[in-house]
Amino acid sequence: MRNSSMNKQAIGIFDSGVGGLAVAQAVHQLLPSEDLLYIADSGFMPYGSKTQDEIRGRCHAIVDYMATQGAKAVVVACNTATMAAIGSLRAHYSLPIVGVEPGVKPALQQSKSGVIGVLATPSTIASQSFQRLCRQQAEDLGRIVFQPCPELAATIEALHLDGDHTEALLRRYCEPLLSQGVDVLVLGCTHYAFIAPLLRRILPSGVSLITTEQAVALQLQRRLAPSYQLGTQLGTQPSATPGRVRLLTSGDSQRFSAQLQVLWPSVENPVITPLHLSCAELG
């Protein structure tokens, strides 16, 4: 049974599409009693080819909606959106807002060659926030090489997680990084967690991968811990009421349902609701 004094508002999690489902699963696993409100902004996917202003407009519209639904915290489960909008979201809303950024620091700490690679969307790589992050982190630790992957998120949305086409695409994106001595590869887009098994198969054995969904779930737990009773006992109590997962999409609901069956098959009784949001006008 839930403690009646516990806050029952949902945690809002969003992405341009299915990428954030990897983050939502990590959150659901760590904090299984929490209600989640997941928004896939699939109608505006990909964010990776949009301008920073366009992405910010979508993010504000989504967080506005989450705030009206009483969300107690928001996870921006998208590197591209985090790079474009986290600053303005935090300035605008008093909710705890947790973002996802490419795991450059752990990658540099782990690298033996001192050269790490980042696969990300064109927008993330071009963003000032990402370039600043790399300058700060790389200072003494090593060298970072980047690879924009314009087609990859859409390939994953289409559930081509394996097979010749996706393998060829990944080889094309990874080759320039490997030829520069990269021994740690950062997956700088939440969608890419779903092709990690294929990447592990095709990369040389000495190259490791960094994904960030577990770190994001832990960061969310840390952010909530002071105000809510979260923590290990919640995650392990067998009698704890499982949190509800509500799913909304601005794209095609049937397509999202098919994606969910592959990418999060264990989610219980998924109900998918269509969502139409106009872009927020930002001053």
Binding footprint of ligand DGL on the chain (CB under 6 A): 15-17, 19, 45-48, 78-80, 121, 124, 153, 189-191
Write down the catalytic residue from 78, 134, 149, 174.
78
Convert 151-208 into a string of H (helix), E (strand) and C (coil): CHHHHHHCCCCCCHHHHHHHHHHHHHHHCCCCCEEEECCHHHHHHHHHHHHHCCCCCE
Residue 280 Cα distances to 39, 60, 82, 95, 176, angstroms: 16, 6, 16, 18, 38
What are the tokens at 105?
């620091």
Write down the residue that tokens 């994904």 correspond to.
Answer: 211
Is the four-CA dihedral 66, 72, 78, 80 of positive or negative sign? positive
Output the smallest distance, CB 20 to ligand DGL, in A: 7
Q: Select 45 or 118, whichever has its Cβ closest to ligand DGL.
A: 45
**Contact of 263 with 42, CB cutoff 8 Å:** no
Angle at 270 between CA 264 and CA 272, to 5 degrees: 105
Rounded-to-integer distance, Cα 169 and Cα 155, Å: 9
Write down the residue that tokens 């990447």 correspond to.
Answer: 199
Q: Select 33 or 264, whichever has its Cβ closest to ligand DGL.
A: 264
Closest residue to ligand DGL in the complex (CB): 48
Write down the catalytic residue from 134, 174, 189, 279.
189
Q: What does DSSP assign to residue 210?
A: E
Active-site residue flag, 134: no
Output the smallest distance, CB 1 to ligand DGL, in A: 36
Closest CA to 193 of 12, 24, 47: 24
Output the smallest distance, CB 154 to ligand DGL, in A: 8
Output the smallest distance, CB 190 to ligand DGL, in A: 4
Q: Select 131 or 227, whichever has its Cβ closest to ligand DGL.
A: 131
Q: Select 19 or 96, whichever has its Cβ closest to ligand DGL.
A: 19
CA-derived radius of gyration, the chain: 18
Q: Select 153 or 230, whichever has its Cβ closest to ligand DGL.
A: 153
Output the smallest distance, CB 72 to ligand DGL, in A: 23
Catalytic residues: 78, 189
